[in-house]
């Protein structure tokens, strides 16, 4: 896995969020609530789905455990924040530099990709982890969580 280092413009998102930990994983529950409501949004910039993770700015990734609480989002990119549906919120991912990786495989292999990025690539690279949100984008190549041919982009904030 070799990343592309890219500077991105800010991203406007609307979605739903929840606090959880890996030991109390509520990701599926969040997406099951969000996906039926996606059709309520107008002014979508594209059809992609965004999974966002926001960590406490004081958290050092080497201290991250299965019980560490963090906020996750299920969201879509918007052209503007007009007409936010009830029960949803807006989020802006600020402009900045990111390392973008492609994860190929089903959801069960995703932790292996993240372990490589955080434990091998990042420490051996010239980059340091930034405090901005981490996110994944599920575009047309995303074929579902159980499909071994599925692809999603992993975006890690770096400086």
State the pLDDT at residue 59.
Answer: 59
State the pLDDT at residue 108.
Answer: 86
State the pLDDT at residue 14.
Answer: 97
Alpha carbon of 20 to those of 30, 71, 91: distances in Å? Answer: 10, 6, 18
Give the DSSP letter string of 80-115: ---SPPTT-EEEEEPSEEEEEEEEES-GGGHHHHHH
Q: How far apart are CA 146 and CA 125, in angstroms?
A: 31
CATH code for the domain of 99 = 3.20.80.10
Give residue 63's domain range. Answer: 4-157
pLDDT tens, residue order, the chain (159 aa): 899 999 999 999 999 999 988 788 888 899 999 999 998 988 899 999 999 999 876 656 666 777 888 999 999 999 999 889 999 999 999 999 999 999 999 888 888 998 899 889 999 999 999 989 999 999 988 888 888 889 999 999 999
Domain count, the chain: 1
Question: Is the pTM here over 0.85, yes or no?
Answer: yes
Buried/exposed code over 112-151 (b: 16+ C-beta within 10 A; e: otherwise): ebeeebbeebbeeeebebeebbbbbbbeeebeeeeeeebe
- Report whether 74 contacts 16 (CB < 8 A): yes
């Amino acid at each position: 896995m070799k990343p592309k280092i890219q500077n991105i413009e800010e991203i406007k998102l609307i979605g739903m969020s929840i606090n959880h930990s890996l030991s109390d994983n509520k990701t599926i529950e969040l997406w099951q609530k969000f996906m039926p409501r996606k059709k309520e949004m107008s002014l979508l910039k594209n059809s992609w789905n965004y999974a966002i993770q926001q960590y406490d700015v004081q958290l050092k990734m080497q201290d991250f455990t299965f019980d560490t609480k963090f906020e996750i989002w299920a969201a879509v990119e918007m052209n503007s924040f007009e007409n936010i549906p009830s029960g949803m919120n807006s989020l802006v991912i600020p402009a900045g530099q990111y390392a973008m990786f492609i994860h190929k495989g089903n959801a069960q292999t995703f932790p292996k990709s993240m372990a490589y990025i955080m434990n091998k690539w990042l420490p051996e690279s010239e980059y340091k982890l930034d405090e901005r949100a981490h996110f994944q984008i599920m575009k047309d190549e995303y074929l579902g969580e159980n499909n071994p041919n599925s692809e999603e982009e992993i975006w890690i904030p770096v400086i």
